[in-house]
A and B are shown apart, each in its own frame.
Chain A
Amino acid sequence: MNLRSIPGMFVAVLATILIGGSVVFAAEPIKIGGLFAITGPASFLGEPERNTAQMVVDEINAAGGIKGRKLQLIAYDTQGDSTKAKQLVNKLIKNDKVVAIIGPSTTGDTMAVIEDVQRAGIPLVSCAAGSKITEPVKKWVFKTAQNDSLAVEKIFDYLNKKKITKVAILTVSDGFGSSGREQLKANAAKFGIQIVVDDTYNPKDTDMTPQLTKVRSSQAQAIVCWGTNPGPAVVARNVKQLGIKLPLFMSHGVSSKKFIELAGDAAEGIILPSGRVIVSDVLPHHDKQKKSLIAFVKDYQKHFKVEGDHFGGHAWDAVMLLKGAIERGGDKPAAIRDALEKTTNFPGIGGVFNFSTTDHAGLTKDAFVLVEIKKRDWSLVRQPGIE
């Protein structure tokens, strides 16, 4: 080693310590935890959520952080396993000492960790949809994904306008479908709608013509199908095969281009409630969410080469809601919680959020718009008197 270089190295090392140290000293990051089902059966939720959360956090930091302090996201993979979720939430709270948590991705994982965040007093903003997460209201638990019941109300509202009173429902026999089925049945009477056929199919079924044959010979004036891909695409194709002319409604579970690709021409004319992400470019200019939506979709496209979807949107909302709460309340868990609960009129991706002491889900049925599939693309269903 060249002896003459030692003083130089010494200076360099000293400088690094001083500069590095002073940076650490000036801005210790605010730690927020993330629990996402990045792998496993629910990875279609967790992966875009994690991607989005990290993307938004990076952007907030690039723009100078929150009041000069950086955000640090510590994200773990629950694999859609509630036992893992429970272990990881404790790791976040006890080892990482986070001030707030985003996620988990699924209703099952969320229900598993509620007990722990309630006890520790750490605010949790879940990205899952189940209405039982925030009903009844739990002090420390909020959520960003829209309730199923809002989608049901949106469809029934439209049926009322069209004077359709008898419907056939066809739901998938998994968690998403049975929750939808419950909500459809629970809300029908309120809208004066009679369910004349109530049938199900299995997630892996490849032929729904028997169920639809039953529907064809019933009194039904419309069909509502509740499921996630690929089942609803099979239903759409079978409806066309059997020559059934009844209007077909789907759930928000298929509001992705994938559904149109799978159902092909059979998708034409299908109406479904959906978050605004997929129609962000055709929304009217006065729409409160338009700015957030366009920003999110473009950003996601830039980073991950695919269009941003609803699921990523749930994480976007969660991070931005927390950011707002930290800006207003500070970096202590209790202060963040109080500020979160006071959030009103926040235009996010999933809808316009209005939290209160009695509502930790914060959305109304206006979080959904009705879209119709026309020429293999989405178009907004204009509804005078609703929009």
Chain B
Amino acid sequence: MPIFDQLTQYLFSGFATGAIYALIGLGFAIIYNATGIINFAQGEFVMLGGMFTLSLLGVAGLPLAMAIPGAILLTTVVGVVFERLAIRPLKSATPLSLVIITIGGSILIRGIAMLGWDKNTHALPGFSGDVPIVVFGASLLPQHLWIFAVTFVVIGGSKLFFNYTISGKAMRACSYNSRAASLIGIDVRRMVLFSFIISSAMGSLAGIIIAPLTMTAYDVGIMLGLKGFCAAIIGGMSSGFGTVLGGLLLGILESLGAGLISSGYKDAIAFVILLLILFIRPQGLFKKAETERV
């Protein structure tokens, strides 16, 4: 059944790409929920994760098990510095100007990365080899399993964090109403910083686990960031399963579109979906429309 094999291959490929989009999308959602802004520098955190790992492996000569935490740490530092220097000093800025600042920030980070590293694309070795595994007629690489596993763990972890810890609950409180949250004693600005820490760590983790498959360069953040943003929009900016489903849906549609229709339209599919959802269901596919109570 070649057509069956083809379909499973498209689905698995889509699943793997979708999991990546979901991870990146979650980063968008977390910052959005804590601050009300869309952080367009999220894609650059993804890029930094891959590039730092590369440097730590190559230049510093660390083993992979140390290079990965190191890269996440370094990216998180960038995230904190970004929040301190670009977001926090603007006390009463509107969300729109903050969004524009994040776009500026992303261009700055990309520019520094280009000068600091180089303009070339680099490959990272797979975490556990490159021998393909065949599942239901579809071939996967061990790295795909890593992606599935890490995505699963991160999503589960963030679910637990937001529902069962004080900090997580406080961050959710900020997202519902930051003024009320500050009145009951939650340090809103600390929560904003916190959200940047979590999402930059998450973004860099995404960048690290995909680098062996997709390779990395100073400019990979743009496209990945936009796809992650799409996933978050489809999921209605939820920091939970909505965004995950959004990412998976996007990945599978892209893969089916490229395989069955034409690969030329692959990116178009993602952005047409994004536009349709923004027009028709701005609250996301999986969320009921919120009613504003006065």
Contact = CB atoms under 8 A, between A and B. Distances in A.
Interface of A: 43-44, 173, 199-202, 204-211, 213-214, 216-217, 229-230, 233-234, 237, 240-243, 258, 261-266
Interface in B116-131: 119-123, 125, 130
B167 interface: no
A233 B216 CA distance: 12
User: What is the interface of chain B mostly: helix, strand, loop, or mixed?
Assistant: helix
A217 B6 contact: yes
B132 A240 contact: yes
Nearest to A44: B119
Interface string B219-234: 0101100000000000
Interface stretch (B154-162, B198-206, B262-270, B281-289): B262-270
Contact of B9 (A44, A199, A205, A242): A242
Contacts of A258: 120-121
Given A233-B123, A234-B214, A262-B215, A211 B259 contact: yes
19 contacts: A200-B262, A202-B264, A202-B266, A204-B220, A207-B13, A210-B13, A211-B259, A211-B263, A214-B6, A217-B3, A230-B121, A230-B215, A230-B217, A233-B121, A240-B130, A242-B9, A242-B139, A262-B121, A264-B125
Contacts of B213: 206-207, 237
A173 B220 CA distance: 17
B267 A202 contact: yes
Nearest to A205: B266
Nearest to B254: A210
A207 B15 CA distance: 12
B13 A209 contact: yes
B10 A210 contact: yes
Nearest to B210: A206
A207 B123 contact: no
Contacts of A242: 9, 132, 139
A213 B6 contact: yes
Of the candidates A202, A206, A210, A265, the one having the most CB atoms from chain B within 10 angstroms of its own CB is A210
B273 to A, nearest CB: 17
B258 interface: yes
A205 B258 CA distance: 11
A249 to B, nearest CB: 19
Contacts of A207: 13, 16-17, 213-214, 255
Interface residues of B, number: 38
Given A173-B264, A262-B123, A206 B258 contact: no
Interface of B: 2-3, 5-6, 9-10, 13, 16-17, 119-123, 125, 130, 132, 134, 139-141, 210, 213-215, 217, 220, 222-223, 255-256, 258-259, 262-264, 266-267
Nearest to A262: B123
A199 B263 contact: yes
B249 to A, nearest CB: 16
Contacts of A201: 263, 266
B263 A265 contact: no
B248 to A, nearest CB: 14
A200 B9 contact: no
A213 B263 contact: no
A209 B9 contact: yes
A198 to B, nearest CB: 10
A206 B214 contact: yes
Contacts of A214: 6, 259
Nearest to B213: A206
Given A211-B263, A234-B214, A217 B255 contact: no
Given A207-B13, A210-B256, A241-B132, 9 more contacts: A43-B119, A206-B210, A206-B213, A207-B17, A211-B258, A230-B217, A233-B121, A233-B123, A242-B132
Nearest to A242: B139
Given A206-B215, A211-B258, A261 B123 contact: yes
A210 B255 contact: yes
A230 B120 CA distance: 9
A233 B262 CA distance: 21
B132 A210 contact: no
A43 B262 CA distance: 32
The 7 tightest CB contacts between A and B, nearest first, are A206-B214, A210-B259, A210-B258, A230-B121, A209-B13, A213-B9, A217-B2
